[in-house]
Each structure stands twice: as C-alpha cells, then as structure tokens.
Amino acid sequence: MLRLSKLTDYAVVVLVRLADMDGVQTSPGIAAATGIPEPTVAKVLKALAAGELVVSQRGARGGYRLNRGLASIPVAEVIAAMDGPIALTACVEGATGCESQGLCPMRGRWDPVNEAISKALSNISLADMQAAPLPAFRLPPHQPALQSAAE
C-alpha cells in the first residue's frame, strides 16, 4: 500500500485551514482550529515554509500565511515539501547502495510508474481537494436475519 506520512496529511489540513482564515495565523491558533498538537503544527509549518508554500512573518503580529492560493498548490508539492521527492522505490530517486543495482532486471522500469504518479499528483490542487464532495455515509441495506437450521 502506498501511504503518505502523517505529517503530509497534517500539512494538507494546515494549508486548507490557512486558506479559510484571514491574515497571518499563529501556530497555536492553527493548532486550536485544527485539533493538531501545536508542536506538530510548528514542525509542519517550518517544512512548508522551507518548501515556500507558506510565508512566515516575525514580530508581535507574526505568524504564517499562504504563499499562494490553494488552486496553485499541487498535492505533489505538499508531498515533496514534507516527505521529499515522490519515489516508489529507492532506485527511482537515484539512491545508490542497492546490492542488486548492477544486476537488477527492474532497473529503470519503475521510472514510468513513478512519473505517472507524480504527474497525477501534480494535476490535483489543494483547491480540488477542498472542493471535492465528501462521500455520503450510507448504512448497508437492511437484511433480514438468517433463519436458523432448526426452524
């Protein structure tokens, strides 16, 4: 299963929440609004600032604000800011040290898969995620109890 880190999930929540709030927001204020612990929010904001997705402002009225609108922030950028380059396997990201690298029949074969995933994630903005309708919660249809074999 391909799974994003919790910090990436939190980063999306923080960015969407920042878009809903006016002006510069503090880390404790964002934490209170999202329910994410403040130290985690601070860590997420620091990484998002390094990735230039948010801008930090120092001083008495300091805090964070979005660097650009949600429509121009692709999910791929959030993932890269929080987890580094999108790569399914170590050989995709160009890492060395694989003991089978010279003999591996799959060497380079993951590149098209990785590129397709990166392209898909680059084509989905945070505004798309914010606007996506939530699936309706439905209970399974009622089914009568099974009759016991004794009847």
User: By the 8 A CB rule, do 69 and 127 touch?
Assistant: yes
Q: Which domain holds residue 37?
A: 6-131
Beta pairing, strands 54-57 & 63-66? antiparallel
Lowest mean pLDDT among 16-30, 56-70, 85-99, 103-117: 85-99
Question: 137 lies in a domain?
Answer: no
Alpha-helical segments (H) within the chain? 6-20, 27-34, 38-50, 75-83, 111-122, 126-131
Does the global pTM surpass 0.85?
Answer: no
Question: 20 lies in a domain?
Answer: yes
Lowest mean pLDDT among 10-14, 104-108, 137-141: 137-141
- What 8-state DSSP symbol labels residue 66? E
Render pLDDT for 31-89 as a digit per residue (tens, 0 to 9).
Answer: 999 999 999 999 999 999 999 999 998 888 889 999 999 999 999 999 999 998 887 77
Question: 139 lies in a domain?
Answer: no
Question: 142 lies in a domain?
Answer: no
Predicted pLDDT of residue 96: 57
CB atoms within 10 A of CB 15: 24
Question: 93 lies in a domain?
Answer: yes
Question: 136 lies in a domain?
Answer: no
CATH number at residue 106: 1.10.10.10
User: By the 8 A CB rule, do 14 and 44 touch?
Assistant: yes
* Residue 148: both structure tokens together: 């016991």
CA 109 to chain centre: 26
* Interatomic CA distance for residues 120 and 83, integer angstroms: 17
Split at pLDDT 50, 70, 90, the class of 104 is confident
Greater confidence (45 vs 101) lies with 45
Question: 123 lies in a domain?
Answer: yes
